[in-house]
Amino acid sequence: MADRQSQLYTAHLQRRADHAPGREMYLQRRVFRTFERLLRKFGQAGLRGRVLDLGGFRGGFANVCRDLGCEEAVPLGIEQGVDFETDRIPYPDGHFDIACATSLIEHLHDPTNMLSEAYRVLRPGGHFVLVTPHWPYCWREFYGAYTHIQPYTHCSIRAALESHGFEVLATVPWMAGKSDFWWDLPAPWSFRLAALLPFTGLDERRWIPVWLKGRSRTLLALARKPR
């Protein structure tokens, strides 16, 4: 993004209710727990060591990572003046154990540089966690966010990761605080059923049974840099 557009988008995020300080911390802890569960299920390792949060806004997720025991957690995004389509990540090869990119790749015209740089700064055997809207289930609202550029499916995100050298361990629906049952289902049924749940996981109405909550139109991918 150009500097002016980056400033406008940052200001827009700051006005959103989900970025209010108390709410944001709650949501970032949900993200941490979901990533931790994903890594333990498919990567045989938890969310520990050195973590790079690509596109992290205000450093919220990195702060949670440090609070919950990560050795190092670094946010890197538009607030630091980074253009993910052109810039080199300012860390040496193999520095990080885990890289995360939440709601980032869909904002890029070309993800080549971001994916290549994520691969470079991960150690051999390090993990990459990626979250993005899942086009078959979000197409009606995808372009309602004016900075959304490139949509992805679970097949295209796998192809993008594999073409940059990653080994894809899982592509599953984003499900926070739900049973692993949803991640054990094969694609595309896992995504179809998750999108059919009538209420979102953030719906706080207490009368709604838990098993009806968790509707997801978001894709969660886990990949690994080969040893």
Q: What is the pLDDT of residues 5-42, one digit of tens each?
A: 555 555 555 555 455 556 788 999 999 999 999 999 99
Strand 96-102 and strand 50-54: pairing? parallel
Fold (topology level) of 3-224: Rossmann fold (3.40.50)
- Contact indicator for 28, 53 with CB cutoff of 8 Å: no
Q: Is residue 115 a contact partner of residue 161, using CB atoms and an 8 Å limit?
A: yes
Question: How high is the pLDDT of residue 80?
Answer: 86
3-state class of 38 per DSSP?
helix
- Which residue matches tokens 């991960």? 122
**Range with lowest mean pLDDT among 49-53, 94-98, 175-179, 180-184:** 175-179
pLDDT digits (tens, 9 = 90+) for 62-78: 999 999 999 999 999 98
Asked if residues 107 and 130 have their Cβ atoms less than 8 Å apart, the reply is no
**Mean pLDDT across the stretch 84-108?**
97
pLDDT of residue 211: 82
Report pLDDT digits (tens) over 176-214: 989 999 999 999 999 999 999 999 988 889 888 888 899
Own/partner pairs, 39-47, CB within 8 angstroms, 24+ separation: 39/98, 39/127, 39/129, 39/222, 41/170, 41/180, 41/183, 42/169, 42/170, 42/222, 43/127, 43/169, 43/222, 43/224, 45/127, 47/98
Q: Write down the pLDDT at residue 3.
A: 53
Q: Which two tokens stand for residue 23?
A: 């709410």
pLDDT mean across residues, the chain: 91
pTM of the model: 0.90
Q: How far apart are alpha carbons 135 and 141 in whole angstroms?
A: 10
Instruction: Annotate 42-87 with DSSP letters as a single string.
Output: IISS-S-SEEEEET-STTHHHHHHHHTT-SEEEEESGGGT--TTTP
pLDDT at 5: 53
**Assigned token pair, 52:** 């790079």
pLDDT per residue over 132-165, tens digit each?
Answer: 999 999 999 999 998 999 999 999 999 999 999 9
- At position 214, the amino acid (one-letter code) is G
What are the domain boundaries of the chain? 3-224
